[in-house]
Structure 1
Amino acid sequence: MTGDDASGVDEATRAARAAWIGAVGGPLLPRWLRVVPVALFVVVGALTPVAPRWLQVATLLAALPPMAGLLYGPLVTALFGAAVLVALSQPTTEPHVSGGDLAAVAVMSSFGVVVAWFRSRYTRNLVVFRSVAEAAQRAVLPPLPPRVGSGPGAVRCAALYRPALRPALVGGDLYDVRDGPHGVRVLVGDVRGHGVEAVGTVASLLGAFREAVLDEPDLGGVAGRLMRRLAVDARRNRSRGEEVDTELFATAVLLEVARDGRAVRVASLGHPPPLLLSDGRTRELAPPPAPPLGVVSPGVALSAMAAPLRPGDVLLAYTDGVTEARDSNGAFFPLLERLAARPWEGEATAASRPGAGYGRWPSDRWPGRRAGPRSGSGSAAGAPAAAWSGPPRPPEPAALVASVGRELSAFAPKLADDVTLLAILPEAAPGA
C-alpha cells in the first residue's frame, strides 16, 4: 500500500468516527453551520427566564433534535435530544409544556437519531468512494518528480494543473515528462471535452506515450503511437453499439531534450507552441503545423523543429485553457506580457516546497491587473518576442508555473476549460 493509499484509508476511518460522534457532514458541511444548534440552545436558555411567559420561547427548543440529526452524528444528536427534554421539564416552562409535548419531543429526538445514523453511514461511504476516486485519478496523472533524467540531459521540471470541473483532479488535459534512451521527452496535450468522460482517453494517451518513450527513436514515432492509440479507442467506441461520442481527437505538443542538453526538438499536433525563455527574452518555438491526433490516419509523417539551448534556458508548455482564459471584460489572458514582467521573482518559497505544483492552484490576487490581447496562442513562427528589462534571471520551473498560475487565477477566477502549465529547465551547460 502506498502512502497516498494509506492516507486515503486513514481519512475514511477518521471520517467514519467523526460521522458517528460529531458532525455528519465532516468536510462536506461548512463549520459555521454546526454552531447553529448550540447557539440556538444557548440563546433560548438565556431568554426563557426573562421573556414574558406568554411568549413561549422554550418551545423553540423542539426544533433542535431534528436539526441536530441533519448536522451531527447519532451520539451528539441523542445528547441534544436529552438536553432539550431536560430543559423543557424545568418549572419555567409550565404551564405551556405538557407531558404530551415532552412525549412529542422525545419522538422527534428519536427520529433525529435515526436520521443521523443513516447520514453517518452514507457520509462514510461517500468519503471512501471519494478517496478511492482521488487515488485512481492520481494514478492516471501522478505528480512530476522535481528532476527527470541523468547526466547532461537531465531536466528540472514542475507542472500546475486545474481541471475545469473544480472537484475533479483529472480532466481533459494531460502531461508527462519521461527519460528514455533517446533523451528526456515531454508531452502536453488537450483531449476533446473535459471531466470524467475525458479521463479514459487521457489514460490511454499517457500509457501510449510512456511506452513510445522507450521504443521510438524520434518524435515522429512517438506521435504515431499516440495516433494509433486514439484510432483504436475510436474503433472500440464504435463497436460498442452504445450512444457514445465516437469523435475522439486531441492536440499535443512533444519535446525532446538531447542527451547532451544542448538542443531541444519540438513537434506540435494542433497544439499551442511552447515558449522558450532565454537570455531575458521569451519567444515561441513554432514547428511546422500538423493536424491534431485523431484527425489524420496513423502513419502520417510529422515534422519537428530543433532549437539550441543555452545555460539557464527554460521551456514552458501549456494548453489553450491558459491563453483562452477571459476576464470579466472578455479580454484574453496576456501570457507573453505577464512573462515579460518576470512574475516568478519572489516565488522561491513556492519553488522549494516538495511536490510544488501538482494539485495546487494559486488563488490570491496580483495587484494592478490589466486586460491585454490574446498572446502565445499558436501564432506563426517569427512573431515578435517579449522582452524584459534588466539583467536576465532564469526562473526555476516551480516558481515559474506557480507565478503564472497565480496571475491567471486572479485574472480569470472562473475558467471554462482545463488549464495546464509545465516548465522544464535543462541542467546541462554547453562546454561544461
Structure 2
Amino acid sequence: MPRAVVRQRDARHPALPRRAPTPPWTRWAAPVLLAVTVVVQVATPRTLDLSFLLAAVPPLAALAYGPAATALLGGTVLLLLELPHYDLGHPGESDTATVAFVAALSVLFAAVRSRRDAQLVSVRTVAEAAQFAVLPPLPEHVGPVRCAGLYRAAQRGTLVGGDLFDVRRGPRGVRALVGDVQGHGLAAVGTVAALIGAFREAALDQRDLVGVAARLDRRLVIDAEDAGIAETEMAESAGDTGAAGTAGTAGAAGGAGHGEPAELFATAVLLEFAADADELRVVSCGHPPPLLLRGGTVTELAVSPGAPLGLGLAGVAPPEQTAVGLRPGDWILTVTDGVTEARDASGAFYPLTARLAALTEVRQRDPAALADAIWKDLVRFSGGVRDDVALLVFAWER
C-alpha cells in the first residue's frame, strides 16, 4: 500500500486518482485485437472468416482514445477490409457499410467521452483542492514538536471524512486537535470544516485549552441550532405544498418543534506542548486518551474525561486540564475510534497498546514510520478498515 503519511500527501494520493477512470488495458485492446485478427486471418485458410472481429475495433478504441485516434483505427479497419491482397473474410458491401457506420458512431462516442473525462478531471481537481483546504498536509515540525499523521476516510475516493486533526502555534505553546464528529463520510465534512476553523481561531485567542474546548463546543451548538431551524423550515415548506389537510397537520407539527436544535456532537482531545516547560497539557472531551511512548513502554495518560463537544459545556461540568511531564525523546500518540474499535474476524478489538509494544524498532526511526507501521498492522489485523481513521504522532524534541 502506498505511504499514507499525511505530511507527504499530494496529488498522487491513492484515494483521489487524477486521471480519468479508464482501465489501462483499454488502451491496448483495440490495436491488439486489430493486429491479432489480421495476423491470424492471413495465416489461416480462406475458409476461416474472422473479419467480424474487426467491427469491434472502433468501439474498443472509443473507450480509451480521442476522436482522432478512433477515426484512425476505424479507417484502418475499412482499408484492410477493402484491400484485395489480404482478402479478410470476403466482406460484402453491406458488411463494409455496417463497419463504417459503427466506426462513425465510435468517433462520436469518443468525442463525448473525452469531453466528459476532461470535466471529471476538472471536478476532481477542484474537490481535491477543497479537501486539502479543510485538512491541509501536516508540517514536519511545529516549534519543538516533530509531527506525523495518517488519515484514511471511510468513503472511497475522498480525502476527508468524519475525523479531524490540526496542529497550530498558540500563545503558550504548540496546540493540537484530534477529533471525531458524529457520522462519517461526506455527510460529516461540513462539521469537520467548522470545527477546524473554530480551532484555528481559538488556538490563537484562548489562553488555555479549556477555553479552546469551549469555543469548539459553542461552534457545534450554534450549528446544531441552525440545522434544526433549517430542517423545521423545510418540513413546513413540504407541508404547505401537500393537500390542505395534510399541510395543516405538517405545519402544526413543524411549528411545535420550530427552533429545536439538531443532534450534532463530536469527541475531541486537545493537546498543548508548553513553550515554557517540559510539559504536555491535555483536555479530553469524550475522546480516547493519548498514549505516551517513553523508551520501551507504552502508557495511557490518566486524563480526566469530559463531555463531548456540542452538548453545551457551559451548562454542564467543563472539562478539566491535565498536565503531564515530558522528557526529551518522548512520543505522544493520539488516535480516533476507527483505530481502537477496528475488529478482526473473531470480533476482537484492535489492541493498540499491546501492538505498539511490538513496534519498538519502528519507533526508533521517526514518527512518520510509526504512523505508517500502525496503519499496516491495523489493516492486517482487521482485514480492512471500514471507518474513518486518524492518528497523530508527536515527538518532543526540546
- What range describes the TM-score normalised by the shorter chain of this pair? 0.7 to 0.9
Counterpart in the other structure of 1:269: 285
Contact 2:282/2:321, CA 8 A, preserved across alignment: yes
Counterpart in the other structure of 1:18: none
Taking every aligned residue pair, what percent have the same amino acid on both sides?
A: 52
Q: CA deviation at 1:47?
A: 1.3
Contact 1:183/1:258, CA 8 A, preserved across alignment: yes
The match for 2:160 among 146, 170, 174 is 170
Q: CA deviation at 1:317?
A: 0.5
Work out the CA distance in 1 between the residues paired with 2:328 and 2:378.
28
Work out the CA distance in 1 between the residues paired with 2:201 and 2:375.
30
The alpha-carbon distance between structure 1 residues 117 and 228, as it changes in their structure 2 partners (threshold 3 A), is same
Secondary structure of the corresponding residue to residue 81 of structure 1? helix
Work out the CA distance in 2 between the residues paired with 1:303 and 1:395.
34
Alignment of 1:363-374 (within 5 A): none
Work out the CA distance in 1 between the residues paired with 2:334 and 2:88.
74
Q: How far does the alpha carbon of each residue in 1:202-222 deviate from its partner, in whole angstroms, 9 at most, with x for none?
A: 010001111111111111111
5+ residue gaps, structure 1, are 1-6, 9-14, 16-25, 346-392
Q: Are residues 1:332 and 2:322 paired?
A: no
Work out the CA distance in 2 between the residues paired with 1:420 and 1:161.
4
TM-score, structure 1 length as denominator? 0.78
The alpha-carbon distance between structure 1 residues 155 and 95, as it changes in their structure 2 partners (threshold 3 A), is closer
Q: How far does the alpha carbon of each residue in 1:57-82 deviate from its partner, in whole angstroms, 9 at most, with x for none?
A: 11210111122112221111101101
Counterpart in the other structure of 1:200: 190
The alpha-carbon distance between structure 1 residues 201 and 265, as it changes in their structure 2 partners (threshold 3 A), is same
Work out the CA distance in 2 between the residues paired with 1:184 and 1:306.
14
Q: CA deviation at 1:190?
A: 0.3
Counterpart in the other structure of 1:214: 204
Work out the CA distance in 1 between the residues paired with 2:359 and 2:329.
15
The alpha-carbon distance between structure 1 residues 94 and 202, as it changes in their structure 2 partners (threshold 3 A), is closer
Work out the CA distance in 2 between the residues paired with 1:51 and 1:30.
32
Secondary structure of the corresponding residue to residue 422 of structure 1? strand
Work out the CA distance in 2 between the residues paired with 1:34 and 1:344.
45
Q: AA paired with 2:391?
A: L
Contact 1:314/1:395, CA 8 A, preserved across alignment: no
Q: CA deviation at 1:51?
A: 3.0
Work out the CA distance in 2 between the residues paired with 1:210 and 1:129.
28
Moved more, 412-421 or 247-256: 412-421
Q: Are residues 1:51 and 2:44 paired?
A: yes
Q: AA paired with 1:427?
A: E
Moved more, 191-200 or 54-63: 54-63
Counterpart in the other structure of 1:179: 169
Q: CA deviation at 1:261?
A: 4.3
Q: CA deviation at 1:260?
A: 2.9
Contact 1:188/1:254, CA 8 A, preserved across alignment: yes
Work out the CA distance in 2 between the residues paired with 1:120 and 1:411.
42
Contact 1:74/1:117, CA 8 A, preserved across alignment: yes
Secondary structure of the corresponding residue to residue 267 of structure 1? strand
Q: CA deviation at 1:285?
A: 1.1
Contact 2:181/2:265, CA 8 A, preserved across alignment: yes
The match for 2:100 among 85, 95, 106 is 106
Q: AA paired with 1:102?
A: T
TM-score, structure 2 length as denominator? 0.84
Secondary structure of the corresponding residue to residue 391 of structure 2? strand
Q: CA deviation at 1:236?
A: 1.2
The alpha-carbon distance between structure 1 residues 413 and 128, as it changes in their structure 2 partners (threshold 3 A), is farther
Counterpart in the other structure of 2:338: 321
Aligned residues: 354
Taking only aligned residues, the RMSD between alpha carbons, in angstroms, comes to 2.0
The alpha-carbon distance between structure 1 residues 52 and 226, as it changes in their structure 2 partners (threshold 3 A), is same
